[in-house]
Structure 1
Amino acid sequence: MGALTEEFAHSTYLAFPVIAARLFFAALLGALIGFEREWRARPAGLRTHILICVAAATFGILTVEIAHSSAFAGREMVSDPLRAVEAVTAGVAFLAAGSILFTRGKVHGLTTGAGMWLAGAVGLSCGFGLWQIAGLGTFLILVVMGLLHSFEVKLGIAADKQEHREPSKTAKAGKDDHDDRC
């Protein structure tokens, strides 16, 4: 029983309030990105982007914790945080690729896929405690996906040529995600 108590009382390199702040900030930024996708009734909305950001932040935090873990004390260990970045990038790119469809000679979901990929980068930034990068990255994502889309609509060059799309039946029913359409 003492080993189990010790396991759950295990200290971390980062203070728990810091870990919680990083994860909550990742969730908030993921929600901002996902809300824009929901507002435009696109696949991969609010919950998807929150989960991507929080997952990436968790991997970032784990990278920091593993590098400072006492489990490796006295052992030779080479720490390479870029491996975590590469793994998250590959994993999120796999999810993002699944949101891209090619039908009737047209590509659909490319912006959503790119947003998912960037949500992973925002989450990693939060996980590593790089708040400024995460915040600025989110701001730029919202500018590109939101304001530039409105500008394209006004110029008549937007792919969908609509300011706002009719919300899906799922959204009308009060659900906040469109995973059933992915």
Structure 2
Amino acid sequence: MEQIVADLFPNTQVPYPVILARMVGAILFGAAIGAEREYRDHAAGLRTHILVALAACVFALLALESVHMASFSDEQVRIDPLRVVEAVTAGVAFLAAGMIVFSRGEVRGLTTGAGMWLAGAVGLSVGLGYWFIGFFATLACFIVLFILGKFETRLGVGSSKEEEDK
């Protein structure tokens, strides 16, 4: 029985309560970004942004832990956690690009795609333990999407009216 528990919960560099807190943080920050998109009734809304942020967080945690795994301690094996960041960036950019549509001479979905990309960055930040960066990026995203979006709508200018509200 002890071996089963040890296999299910191997020793980690980052303690399990911290891992859980980082994953919950990624969920909350991703939700904050996605809530604005959901409010505007876009395809990539609350759930999508939560999943992007959480996935990025999990990849970041795995990158941190993989550096310390005994099975990777051989000199022949070289672990580069930066590759995980690059892979998450490329993967989320691919998802975000799928949100962008060019139709009738207009670009739509660009802001939603950028929000998904930022959700990935926020997830990586929290997963790597950089809570302040993740929080500030989420706050800045909220200001840009919600507050500036409202301001542009009132003025009748900007990308929020031309790109997103159709």
Aligned residue pairs: how many?
Answer: 164
Q: Deviations over 1:48-78 (max 9, x none)?
A: 0000000000000000000011222344443
> 1:116 aligns to what?
116
Q: Is the 8 A contact 1:29 1:135 kept in 2?
A: yes
> 1:127 aligns to what?
127
Q: Deviations over 1:150-179 (max 9, x none)?
A: 1111211044649xx7xxxxxxxxxxxxxx
Q: Where is the helix percentage greater, Structure 1 or Structure 2?
A: 2
Indicate the SS of the match to 1:41: coil
| TM-superposed deviation, 1:91 | 0.3
Q: Deviations over 1:12-67 (max 9, x none)?
A: 11110000000000000001111110111112001000000000000000000000
Q: Is the 8 A contact 1:37 1:45 kept in 2?
A: yes
Q: Does 1:56 align with 2:56?
A: yes
Indicate the SS of the match to 1:102: strand
Indicate the SS of the match to 1:139: helix
Provide the C-alpha distance between the structure 2 equivalents of 1:89 and 1:47, rounded to a whole number of angstroms: 19
TM-score, structure 1 normalization? 0.83
> 1:16 aligns to what?
16
* Structure 2 residue runs without a partner (length 5+): none
Provide the C-alpha distance between the structure 2 equivalents of 1:89 and 1:44, rounded to a whole number of angstroms: 17
CA RMSD of aligned residues (A): 2.0
Kindly report which structure 2 residues correspond to 1:41-80, keeping only aligned pairs within 5 A, or say none: 41-80=41-80
Q: Percent identity?
A: 52
User: Measured at CA, do residues 73 and 79 of structure 1 come closer, stay the same or move farther in structure 2, by a change above 3 Å?
Assistant: closer
Q: Is the 8 A contact 2:57 2:128 kept in 1?
A: yes
* Structure 1 residue runs without a partner (length 5+): 166-182
Provide the C-alpha distance between the structure 2 equivalents of 1:5 and 1:89, rounded to a whole number of angstroms: 34
User: Measured at CA, do residues 4 and 44 of structure 1 come closer, stay the same or move farther in structure 2, by a change above 3 Å?
Assistant: same
> 1:172 aligns to what?
none
Provide the C-alpha distance between the structure 1 equivalents of 2:117 and 2:17, rounded to a whole number of angstroms: 27
